[in-house]
Amino acid sequence: MLIERKEERAVSKTKARHMAAYTAFVAPAVLFFILIIVIPFFRAILFSFQDWNGISSHIRWAGWSNYTKLMHDSGFGKSFVFTFKYVIATTILLNVLGLLLALVLNMALRTKNVLRTAFFLPYVIGPVIIGFIWQFIITGLFPEIGKATGLALFQKNWLSLPDHSFWSLVIVTVWHSAGYFMVIYLAALQGVPKDLLEAAEMDGAGRYLRFWHVLLPLIRPAMTINLFLAISNGFKAFDLNFALTRGGPFGTTESLAYHIYLDAFAKNLFTYASAKAVVFFLVLASITLVQVAAMKRREVEL
């Protein structure tokens, strides 16, 4: 009996030590998550039902007036349409280009390691820096290319034309993030069993059939992740929008995140911006949940 009790005490002490170690490591992260994410989130929900300019000590209860006002806000609707178009364009291009790069670099190339580094390197640089670099390229270098080649496309100021500025944002986003999507697809491709591909080849399946019926179903978990990342990052786009176009020309490239930022910190409409942020969160959460649920049903488990 004494031996059993000693063993139980030793086990309980070990569990207590493990629990203390887990708490010591996890508690700081949980604390910062609550302070930086959870509390501001619920604070924003509370602000959305109030009327406050961020300066006055008096905060008035506004009820649903911020949300009803939002229904007639043409600027919010315009930024939502732009963001939706931006998300569709970047999601398609990032996943197509990322998958193509992964398929090429999954081959037995001598320079594949160098190419992987080269394609992934832009993602390491901050989006704000990328935005300023590309602003210089578009406004300073493109006109010189236009003069040297005579191409009318490069002789225009892309950032002063609505359609061109939209595609400028899309091109820079794809150039910046395609390498990250490539790495995820490449990891999924390298996890596909080679015997399945060899069996399909022996059965007479060509490259297209092997890709469509073997590779594509087996890398759907990676597609789920990349689609989720592309959609969520597209809706939350702010850094490149701020650094490259600043919402111009005439607000035609104003993303939802940048639009809310301007309302809150340029116009001092904190509570109205909070209402927009809450609606933005609900839209983004709904779209991503539906996308993940739809893709999860089609995944193949090995």
What is the predicted pLDDT for the residue at 177?
92
Mean pLDDT of 38-54: 86
The gap from C-alpha 232 to its chain's centroid, in whole angstroms, comes to 4
Residue 16 and residue 142 share a domain: no
Alpha carbon distance 239, 234 (integer Å) = 11
Domain holding 154, by residue range, is 74-297
With respect to residue 134, please indicate whether it lies within any of the assigned structural domains. yes
Kindly indicate the confidence band of residue 86, based on its pLDDT and cuts at 50, 70 and 90.
very high
What is the predicted pLDDT for the residue at 171?
92
Query: 196, 274 in Cβ contact below 8 A?
Result: no
Label residue 225 exposed, middle or buried (CB < 10 Å: 0-12, 13-18, 19+). middle
Q: For residue range 121-164, list pLDDT tens digits in order.
A: 889 888 888 888 898 888 888 888 888 888 887 878 888 888 88
| Upper half-sphere CA count for residue 193 (Cβ side, 13 Å) | 6
With respect to residue 289, please indicate whether it lies within any of the assigned structural domains. yes
Residue 38 and residue 82 share a domain: no
Kindly indicate the confidence band of residue 10, based on its pLDDT and cuts at 50, 70 and 90.
low
Kindly indicate the confidence band of residue 1, based on its pLDDT and cuts at 50, 70 and 90.
low
With respect to residue 57, please indicate whether it lies within any of the assigned structural domains. no
Residue 173 and residue 98 share a domain: yes
For the chain, percent helix, then strand, then coil, each to nearest 5?
80, 0, 20
What is the predicted pLDDT for the residue at 2?
53
What is the predicted pLDDT for the residue at 302?
47
With respect to residue 65, please indicate whether it lies within any of the assigned structural domains. no
User: 112-124 vs 162-190: helix axis angle to the nearest 10?
Assistant: 130
What is the predicted pLDDT for the residue at 300?
54
User: How does DSSP classify residue 49?
Assistant: T
What is the predicted pLDDT for the residue at 96?
94
Residue 139 and residue 32 share a domain: no
As a whole-number percent, the residues of the chain with pLDDT over 90 amount to 18
Q: Which CATH number does the domain housing residue 284 bear?
A: 1.10.3720.10
Residue 34 and residue 119 share a domain: no
Q: For residue range 169-227, list pLDDT tens digits in order.
A: 999 999 999 999 999 999 988 888 887 777 877 777 777 777 787 788 888 888 888 99
Residue 143 and residue 228 share a domain: yes
Alpha carbon distance 127, 129 (integer Å) = 5
With respect to residue 80, please indicate whether it lies within any of the assigned structural domains. yes
Q: What is the pTM of this model?
A: 0.85
* 87 or 23: which leads in pLDDT: 87
Residue 38 and residue 80 share a domain: no
With respect to residue 28, please indicate whether it lies within any of the assigned structural domains. yes
Residue 95 and residue 35 share a domain: no
What is the predicted pLDDT for the residue at 246?
84
Q: For residue range 218-254, list pLDDT tens digits in order.
A: 888 888 889 989 998 999 888 888 888 888 788 888 8
User: 112-124 vs 74-105: helix axis angle to the nearest 10?
Assistant: 160
With respect to residue 245, please indicate whether it lies within any of the assigned structural domains. yes
Q: For residue range 247-280, list pLDDT tens digits in order.
A: 878 888 888 889 998 888 888 888 888 899 999 9
What is the count of structural domains for the chain? 2
